[in-house]
Amino acid sequence: MIASLGLESQVILVTGGNRGIGAAIVNLLLELGAKVAYTYRHDYTPQMGTVAISADVTDEANMIAVAAQVEAELGPIDGVVANVGITQDNFFPKLTSADWDAVMNTNLKGVYNTLKPIIPQMYARRSGSVVCITSISGEKGNLGQTNYAASKAGTIGFTKSLALEAARYNVRANAVAPGFIETDMLKPISEKVKQKILAEIPLSRFGKPEEVAWTVAFLLSPVASSYITGTVVRVNGAHHT
Ligand SMILES: NC(=O)c1ccc[n+]([C@@H]2O[C@H](COP(=O)([O-])OP(=O)(O)OC[C@H]3O[C@@H](n4cnc5c(N)ncnc54)[C@H](O)[C@@H]3O)[C@@H](O)[C@H]2O)c1
């Protein structure tokens, strides 16, 4: 028998699955045989073989509707990847209340909105795996990212607490903390700053979205990670150990 992650026919929802890390997760899960639903924003041509739903994670009612649509079209949800995240960077004296609220509402309240309608169903079925995408910034801090780092540190605290509550229902919750990964999120960073960051990374390169995706697939797997919950897995080339 060929070894498998056991994700075949599992129903998995990925938020922000149209590009970057989220798209890499969607593609890998499809290759691994999962039934994948994902959310996206704005104009976009959804991928064949998936349930793609236009939705804003900051909108609670929207995310309740997403959970209902995924269940109706694919069946009960086995795994969720809370992947959506944004940056609105500035040094703290220049950071506006709007920058603060946008990042908190998307990165932290968005996780709440995504999981709130799904977790009770997982508890009832005594099965499920949740993966929240946090960041190296949430663990070590980063210049210009007081808002983003706070939201990502908050996501770690949320995930660890959920893992403690969910364990008795056989539901697992873990976080993945990517370092600097080659996606649109790196675009606003100047070449000079990028070179400075690269010099701090022992593996001497930025990560690839696929390298995060494999870690997420591992944590979703009811076979490979069944005794792992409440952890933060770093995918950062030893940038922070
Ligand atoms: N790229 C990196 O270096 C890096 C490092 C650490 C952590 N992360 C985290 O990984 C996750 C994915 O990042 P990425 O680099 O792929 O980013 P990205 O900007 O390429 O993709 C973000 C996704 O979120 C969606 N999105 C944004 N706001 C939304 C909203 N309000 N509602 C619904 N969808 C929304 C976008 O449409 C997009 O699909 C984020 O949580 C990010 O914080 C990224």
Residue 47 lies in a domain: yes
Residue 201 lies in a domain: yes
pLDDT tens profile 172-201: 999 999 999 999 988 888 999 999 999 999
What is residue 67's predicted lDDT score, i.e. its pLDDT? 98
Q: How far is CA 6 from the centre of its chain?
A: 20
Which residue segment(s) compose the domain that 47 sits in?
Answer: 11-235
Residue 73 lies in a domain: yes
Which amino acid, 77? I
Q: Return the DSSP state at 106.
A: I
pLDDT tens profile 67-85: 999 999 999 999 999 999 9
Q: What spacing in Å lies between the alpha carbon of 85 and ligand 1's midpoint? A: 4
Rg (CA), the chain: 17
Pocket probe for ligand 1: among 84, 88, 112, 240, the residue whose CB has the most ligand atoms within 8 Å is 84
| Over residues 38-54, mean pLDDT | 89
Ligand 1 interacting residues, C-beta cut-off 6 A: 16, 18-22, 39-41, 56-58, 83-86, 106, 133, 135-136, 178, 180-181, 183-186
Percentages helix, strand, coil for the chain (3-state, rounded to 5) are 45, 15, 40
Pocket probe for ligand 1: among 56, 86, 131, 148, the residue whose CB has the most ligand atoms within 8 Å is 86
Protein residue whose Cα sits closest to atom 38 of ligand 1: 16
Number of domains the chain contains: 1
pLDDT tens profile 113-163: 999 999 999 999 999 999 999 999 999 999 999 999 999 999 999 999 999
CA distances to 105, 145, 205, 237 from 86, rounded to whole Å, are 10, 11, 22, 22
Closest atom of ligand 1 relative to the 17 alpha carbon: 39
Q: In what order do the strands lie in the sheet with 35-40?
A: 51-54, 35-40, 11-14, 79-82, 128-133, 171-178, 232-235
What is residue 42's predicted lDDT score, i.e. its pLDDT? 83
Residue 65 lies in a domain: yes
Q: What spacing in Å lies between the alpha carbon of 75 and ligand 1's midpoint? A: 26
Tell me: pLDDT of 225 over 70.
yes
Residue 120 lies in a domain: yes
Tell me: pLDDT of 100 over 80.
yes
Residue 241 lies in a domain: no
CB-CB neighbours of 42 under 10 Å: 7
CB-based burial of residue 39 (10 Å sphere; 0-12 exposed, 13-18 middle, 19+ buried)? Answer: buried
What is residue 18's predicted lDDT score, i.e. its pLDDT? 95
- Rounded to an integer, what distance in angstroms lies between the CA atom of residue 104 and that of residue 137? 14
Residue 22 lies in a domain: yes
Residue 141 lies in a domain: yes
What is residue 2's predicted lDDT score, i.e. its pLDDT? 67
| Over residues 40-53, mean pLDDT | 87
CATH of the domain at 50: 3.40.50.720
